[in-house]
Amino acid sequence: MAAYTFEQDATILGAASPERRVQLAARNLDIISPQTGSLALLEASASQVFPADELAGGSAFYYFGPTQKKQFLKTMMETNWDRRVFFAGEQASFTHGWIQGALDAALRCVGQVIDTAAKPV
Ligand SMILES: Cc1cc2nc3c(=O)[nH]c(=O)nc-3n(C[C@H](O)[C@H](O)[C@H](O)COP(=O)(O)OP(=O)(O)OC[C@H]3O[C@@H](n4cnc5c(N)ncnc54)[C@H](O)[C@@H]3O)c2cc1C
C-alpha cells in the first residue's frame, strides 16, 4: 500500500481524481525513497475514499486530539455503575482506530468481568 491517509491529507487526496490521487502518492514515495522508482514502475493502481463509500457507512473511528489520550483513555477503560457496566470498543483501547484495539478492549472487558465475579462489590 502506498498511502493510508487521514484528516487534511485524506481530504486533499479524496478530492482528486483516482488517477491524480495515485500519481500524487507515487510521486511522494519517489521523494521519500527515490531508489524504489515508484513512478517509473507504476503499472496499475486502485484507491478507496472511505468517506464517500456508502457500504462503509461513511468513516468513523476514534481519533484522539493532542493530549486527549492522556486525559481520557484511562477513565474510558474503567468499569462504571458499581462495576456493572464494561466499556469495550476500539475507542477504549490504546490501539484505538484499529481492529486490534477492538480485540484488546474486548479482552480487557473479559478480564474485568472475571475480576468482578471473583471479587463482587
Ligand atoms: C473506513 C474505515 C477503514 C478502516 N480500516 C481498517 C483497517 O484497515 N485495519 C484495521 O485494523 N482497522 C480498520 N478500521 C477500524 C476498524 O474497523 C475498527 O477499529 C473496528 O471495526 C472497531 O470495532 P468495534 O467492535 O470497536 O466497533 P464496530 O465494529 O463499529 O462495532 C460496533 C457495533 O455496534 C453496533 N451498534 C451501535 N450502536 C448500537 C446500539 N445502540 N445497539 C446495538 N448495537 C449498536 C454497530 O452497528 C456496530 O455493529 C477502519 C475503520 C473505518 C471506518
Averaged pLDDT for residues 95-103:
95
Alpha carbons 110 and 117: distance in angstroms, whole number: 11
pLDDT top residue among 121 and 27: 27
pLDDT of residue 46: 94
Q: What count of other Cβ atoms lies within 10 Å of the Cβ of residue 21?
A: 21
Give percent of the chain with pLDDT exceeding 70: 98
- Residue 84 Cα, ligand 1 centroid: separation in angstroms? 23
Domain boundaries, the chain: 7-52, 68-118
Q: What value does the CA radius of gyration of the chain take, rounded to a whole number of Å?
A: 20
49-73 as b/e, with b when 16 or more CB fall inside 10 Å? beeeeeeeeeeeebeeeeeeeeeeb
Q: What count of other Cβ atoms lies within 10 Å of the Cβ of residue 24?
A: 16
pLDDT of residue 2: 84
Cell triple for residue 89? 470498543
pLDDT of residue 63: 86
- Residue 64 Cα, ligand 1 centroid: separation in angstroms? 16
User: Is the pLDDT confidence value at 15 over 90?
Assistant: yes
Beta carbons of 45 and 39 less than 8 angstroms apart: no
Q: Which of 59, 99, 103 to mutate to test the pocket of ligand 1 (most atoms within 8 A of CB)?
A: 99
pLDDT of residue 59: 67
Averaged pLDDT for residues 4-26:
92
- Residue 104 Cα, ligand 1 centroid: separation in angstroms? 14
Per-residue pLDDT tens digits for 38-88:
889 999 999 999 888 888 876 678 889 899 999 999 999 999 999 999 999
Question: By three-state DSSP, how is residue 26 classified?
Answer: helix
Work out which ligand 1 atom sits closest to the CA atom of 59: 53
Beta carbons of 34 and 11 less than 8 angstroms apart: no
Mean pLDDT of the chain: 92
* Topology at the third CATH level for domain 68-118: Arc Repressor Mutant, subunit A (1.10.10)
Beta carbons of 109 and 88 less than 8 angstroms apart: yes
Cell triple for residue 12? 486533499
> From atom 28 of ligand 1, which residue's Cα is the shortest distance away?
89
